[in-house]
Structure 1
Amino acid sequence: MQRKAYVPGLALLVALASGCSAASGSNGSSTDSKGGVTKGAPAPPGKYRTLPEPCHAVSKTVLKDMLPGAAGLADADAEKEYAGTADLTYDTDRRVGCRWKDETPDGVRRLMVDFERVVSYDPTVSDDDQTKELYGKKESAADLPAPQSSAPVTPPAGPRASASPGASTPPGASASPGSSAPPSTAGSASPSTAGSTSPSPSDGTGTDGLQPRRLSGLGDAAFLDDVSSPSGAGAGQGGGQRTVTVVFRTSNVIVTIEYTAQTMAPAPVPDSKELQEQAQALAGRLVEQFSE
């Protein structure tokens, strides 16, 4: 009787091949899991996956108010100014921006809008939590004054040092924009600042409600910063610059608006109230676009 040939290693190879096929998954598809990652549902992604086109996000009606000098230009030049200039970016799903510049004989106005979509690459940290952390750093960098309600302030015995905008105030009596001085010293002059140049009365450092502050009702969180500076040595001769910044967070997107007005002497430093109202109005329009 003829005997069949037997290969000793063949059975072992067949068994190994069968084991590898079974390990590929019960559904027949291969897995692509990351080694070392804890099993379980990953942190949820952010609400927004794309960003608006920034140069089209600001309506012409708003731009006409914020860039008044364009009204005196020829139609073609005005349209070019209203179109803005897009920031150079390499990933329009992650960050985009647009800038406008309005020049007149009296000065210059600049507007910047920036949209940033935050993505967390840590599977245990959600996009929203990553956005909160980044927003918190921006707010901390603005060095906003502590909320007035955080600590009671005892009124001084005599007339209030922080007089109304029309009253005479010693130079340096108000802290500079973004100062972290506690509320109890906000209206008092100190020897270390008595010789410094005082900002304009509506510089956002007094009690007129225009100080740098956190804003409510704008996205998930928002703040406003207001910084002014006189034009160098000519501080007493007029001229200067003011920049109002509004930053707000909505889910996993951070929006930044910077509105700057610069004047030439003898014009005074631009007024806080006007710039703040316009910047906040624009912020309100932009947050509505993310709510649609």
Structure 2
Amino acid sequence: MQRRAYVPGVAALLAAVLAGCTGSADEGGRSDDSNPGSAGTATQAAQPGKYATLPEPCGAVDGRTLAELLPGLGEMTDETQRETARAGEATLTYDTDRKVGCRWKVESAEATDHLLVDFERVVSYDNAVSDDAQAERLFATKQAAAELPEPEVTESGPPTTGPSADPSSPPSSSSSASAAASSSASPSDGSSPSSGASSSSTDAPVLRPRVLEGVGDEAFLDDELDSSGSTAEQRTVTVAFRTSNVIVTIEYAEQPVTVGVVPDSEEMQDRARRLASELAGSLGG
């Protein structure tokens, strides 16, 4: 009896199946990208951020700047006490490669000043998103949470974020007239008038919270006056900026000793902005 030859047929079928599974991309087959190291993989990790470390936060602000922000330092007669106050206190952190900060609190005869400087290094764990892009996203969220007012639109020019009577409301015609009169009375050399005007006057112009130019890659400033309770009003000026994959936040607050005295917004904003510029410059190296 003649035997049937099954094996050659099975071998032919198996060869056909294998050929279909291992066909090349040029023949319409799909390359295997499950192995990150295979030749068919085109995935490339996003670029890392510029900064791999963070500065020592309590040493990031120089002595001269601290003396300007914290006037009470100059009133301290005890050298040990002054040095302790100048040294600041590091904020609690569990990863100094990712987040560090330092805070200061100094009392003077006129007010108590608080300063907080916070550094955050952003790292993306998504190969499709760079550290810079992730930091940009986080900064956008931070800025949105600040709820900055929309820029004012004028008939004669582009949107402006000039002075107004209150950070959260547009200026009235009376406050605009007052600001104009104050401007016309200022000395031509740009110095501050010294005609007995009180720094506690609520008629002093207050700069609105706004986006800042020229500080890091992007920045904004917020200004809040806490008038709740029966104590003196505390003003807090916040300046936040991003440079590459590092986000820096400065919180500068002042609470006068005397009830009814309002911290000078323009002066506090100027001090906080100068500090932000200094820190951005030191990080830029």
Fold-level match, TM-score > 0.5? yes
- Give deviations 1:126-149, integer Å, cap 9, x for gaps: 11111111100111111112223x
Residue in 2 aligned with 1:123?
Answer: 127
Residue 214 (structure 1) aligned to one of 196, 211, 216 = 211
Q: Would the aligned equivalents of 1:203 and 1:226 in 2 still touch at CA under 8 Å?
A: no
- Give deviations 1:248-268, integer Å, cap 9, x for gaps: 000001000000000122451
Higher mean alpha-carbon deviation, 271-280 vs 258-267, is at: 258-267
SS at match of 1:244: strand
How far apart, in 2, do the equivalents of 1:274 and 1:152 lie?
Answer: 26
Report percent identity of matched pairs: 49
Residue in 2 aligned with 1:260?
Answer: 253
- Give deviations 1:142-192, integer Å, cap 9, x for gaps: 1112223xx4559xxxxxxxxx98xxxxxxxx5x53x4x6xxx65389xxx
- Using the TM superposition, give the Cα deviation of residue 200 of structure 1 relative to its aligned residue in structure 2, in angstroms: 3.3
CA 1:152 to 1:231, structure 2 compared with 1: closer, same or farther past 3 Å? Answer: closer
Residue in 2 aligned with 1:275?
Answer: 268
Q: Would the aligned equivalents of 2:72 and 2:109 in 1 still touch at CA under 8 Å?
A: no
- Using the TM superposition, give the Cα deviation of residue 41 of structure 1 relative to its aligned residue in structure 2, in angstroms: 1.2
Please say if 1:92 is aligned against 2:96. Answer: yes
CA 1:132 to 1:261, structure 2 compared with 1: closer, same or farther past 3 Å? Answer: same
Q: Would the aligned equivalents of 1:50 and 1:93 in 2 still touch at CA under 8 Å?
A: yes
Structure 1 gap ranges (5+): 1-31, 155-163, 166-173, 190-198, 205-209
RMSD value over aligned CA atoms? 2.8
SS at match of 2:247: strand
Residue in 1 aligned with 2:172?
Answer: 187
SS at match of 1:132: helix
Please say if 1:143 is aligned against 2:147. Answer: yes
Counterpart mapping for 1:9-88 below 5 A: 33=36, 39-73=42-76, 74-88=78-92
Q: Would the aligned equivalents of 2:47 and 2:130 in 1 still touch at CA under 8 Å?
A: yes
SS at match of 1:261: strand
Q: Would the aligned equivalents of 2:111 and 2:256 in 1 still touch at CA under 8 Å?
A: yes
Aligned amino acid, residue 54 of structure 1: P
How far apart, in 2, do the equivalents of 1:101 and 1:133 lie?
Answer: 32
Q: Would the aligned equivalents of 2:71 and 2:108 in 1 still touch at CA under 8 Å?
A: no
How far apart, in 1, do the equivalents of 2:81 and 2:36 lie?
Answer: 56
SS at match of 2:237: strand
Residue in 1 aligned with 2:116?
Answer: 112
Structure 2 gap ranges (5+): 1-34, 157-162, 175-200
TM-score of the pair, normalised by structure 1: 0.68
How far apart, in 1, do the equivalents of 2:109 and 2:228 lie?
Answer: 16
- Give deviations 1:68-125, integer Å, cap 9, x for gaps: 1121221110000000000111111100000000013433100000000011111101
Aligned amino acid, residue 246 of structure 2: V
Residue 202 (structure 2) aligned to one of 200, 203, 206 = 200
Residue in 2 aligned with 1:228?
Answer: 225
TM-score of the pair, normalised by structure 2: 0.69
Please say if 1:240 is aligned against 2:233. Answer: yes
How far apart, in 1, do the equivalents of 2:256 and 2:225 lie?
Answer: 11
